[in-house]
Amino acid sequence: MNLTNRIANVISNAVENEWTTEQVELLLEKPKQTELGDIAFPCFTLAKKLRKAPQQIALELSTKLEDQLIASVQVAGGYVNIFLNQAFITNQVLHSIMTDLQKYGSKNSMHEKIVIDFSSPNIAKPFSMGHLRSTVIGNSLANIAEKNGYEAIRINHLGDWGTQFGKLIVAYKLWGNKEKILAAPIEELLKIYVHFHNLAEKDDSLNDQARAAFKSLEEGDEEALTLWNWFKEASLKEFQIIYELLGVHFDSYAGEAFYNDKMTRVVDDLKKKGLLIESNGAFVVELEDMPPSLITKKDGATLYATRDLAAAIYRHQTFHACKTFYVVGNEQTLHFKQLFSVLEKMGFEWSKNLVHVPFGMMLKDGKKMSTRKGKVILLADVITDAIKTAQHNIEEKNPTLENKEEVAKQVGVGAVIFNDLKNDRMNDIEFSLEQMLNFEGETGPYVQYTNARICSLLQKGSFEAEAFTFSSIGVEAWPIIQLLEDFPRVVEKAFDNADPSQIAKFSLLLARQFNKYYARTKILADDGTTSSKLAFAFSVSVVLKESLRLLGVPAPVKM
């Protein structure tokens, strides 16, 4: 129960449960001026219910609000302005953080699983900036889910099947060079893939060849399978380098191909339930308020929908998860609406627990990046540039820093991840290397540096958490205490809204507020308050580090 909720509960009891705690909490306001209190309760809506003037209700209510959390109460018109007991709450918050450390803000295990399907790059194509969003949003959501008491099952549903492999097989046979591909697999495969598309725009027979090649792959043609396996293994090696840099791991790499032998059962089940309808030689499931879901093409080949149906059923039978997140761009919204609707028609009650977590696109010059047109920015190149920028900054500002290379990697990678996650999930992001590598202002390195500054302060003050005793840290710390107290609610809200940006924005606000406090307050002062102030700074560091961890951003102790 957070502070606002606890105050709402006190008010609810004072009005003799005329309103529930939840109803009261929705009405609570934060006054614009600190002299008007910490929390304000407007009595205007309650006036209709009690048939009394708002000011009279406020006066009567002010005499009943007695609690350890409340220092004093004032009435202004129809408002009850509540001044919180800062010393009592500060003591509670700091003790909670220092007792639990990384567990602060965590919920007890609910022994329930949540499946998170994210990243899902296409085999034999480069890991571009376009793949970054799903990867970092999904990874952060898995961390946040675990913080909220779930066991997160991380699944990388690789794009390792489909007509594009027919195109790639044809392209390799026509223009491929084995030695060049062995030396730089993704780069060379991208070249011949783009070349195929350029020519296929003028020569449609190439597309016919690609469809035939994919059909051969589906039927188990040995040569086609050998090439496909080679493309897949080469891609995974390069992908793994990116995942290790980003600190991302998966419990399963079962991609589309994994479900090849599971789709016949799905199609048969749809037939048995009378849901499969022939349409111009293809088979579809008719849906209300949306286009039909295409299950098999005229030539009998399967589609994304068929594989996603098989995947959803397999995952339910395997993991028995209470919820599944599909972290996939918002351009796939219709696909997931169709998928969930088909599963519901099939009689699967658990389909209501499947959630599409959409997000905006990474744009270049206002347009979507396109692999087939060769208009991609490689994520590996961006990360390399970010690390080089961090190295340059370290050489300029702190050339004697220990482990410079490791810190530069943590700062550079952190800048790339944070730059994505600080944005509202649904917003498109215009790619800007300059903005991404700007380490000043609203950035990951700013939060990292704030934490590193606190770590240095704690070292200078020889702080030991076990020896903590609380006295006074000054009224300047109060806005920060309120933020620290609110952290568990932020974590819960980030999960409920599937939105890591709420934690990123929180960490920026906390870092900014602490730096203001640090600029105005002498922490290592010889006045008997040093121990308490260091404990306060330590608590801020705990929450900053945990915020960064939930986002998948490293927290170096020195910068």
Q: What is the pLDDT of residues 232-269, one digit of tens each?
A: 998 898 899 999 999 999 999 999 999 989 999 999 99
Q: Distance between CA atoms of 277 and 270, rounded to whole angstroms?
A: 9
Enumerate the H helices of 219-367 as residue ranges.
Answer: 222-246, 263-272, 304-319, 333-345
- Specify the pLDDT at position 374: 54
Tokens of 333: 């919204």
Tens of pLDDT, residue by residue over 27-62, are: 999 999 989 999 999 999 888 888 899 999 999 999
Tens of pLDDT, residue by residue over 71-81, are: 999 999 999 99
- Angle, to 10 degrees, between the axis of helix 530-551 and the axis of helix 478-496? 20
**Which neighbouring-strand residues pair with 83?**
72
> Is there a contact between 401 and 541 (Cβ–Cβ < 8 Å)?
no
DSSP 403-433: THHHHHHHHHHHHHHHHHHTS-TTS-EE--H
> Is there a contact between 127 and 121 (Cβ–Cβ < 8 Å)?
yes
* HEC profile of 445-475: HHHHHHHHHHHHHHHHCCCCHHHCCCCCCCH
Q: Which of 54, 24, 311 is nearest to 161 (CA)?
A: 311
Q: Distance between CA atoms of 66 and 418, rounded to whole angstroms?
A: 43
- Angle, to 10 degrees, between the axis of helix 222-246 and the axis of helix 132-147? 60
Q: Which of 368, 355, 359 is nearest to 501 (CA)?
A: 359
Residue 298: pLDDT over 90: no
Name residues whose C-beta falls within 8 Å of residue 170's C-beta, 6 or more positions apart in sequence.
196, 206, 209, 210, 213
**Which neighbouring-strand residues pair with 320?**
none
- Specify the pLDDT at position 527: 80
Whether the predicted model's global pTM rises above the 0.85 cut: yes
Q: Please, is 1 exposed, middle or buried when counting C-beta atoms within 10 Å of its C-beta (0-12, 13-18, 19+)?
A: exposed
Q: Which of 510, 444, 524, 526 is nearest to 477 (CA)?
A: 510
CB-facing half-sphere around the CA of 7: CA atoms within 13 A: 25
End-to-end CA distance of the chain: 36
Q: Looking at 12-21, 87-96, 214-223, 255-264, which range is the least confident one?
A: 12-21
> Is there a contact between 193 and 372 (Cβ–Cβ < 8 Å)?
yes
- Specify the pLDDT at position 363: 82
Q: Give buried/exposed letters for 225-251 (b at 16+ CB in 10 A, else e).
A: eebbebbbebbbebbeebbebbbbebe
Q: Looking at 127-131, 229-233, 368-372, 467-471, which range is the least confident one?
A: 368-372
Q: Which domains does the chain have, with CATH numbers?
A: 3-84 (3.30.1360.70), 118-368 (3.40.50.620), 380-551 (1.10.730.10)
If you average pLDDT over every residue of the chain, what do you get?
A: 92
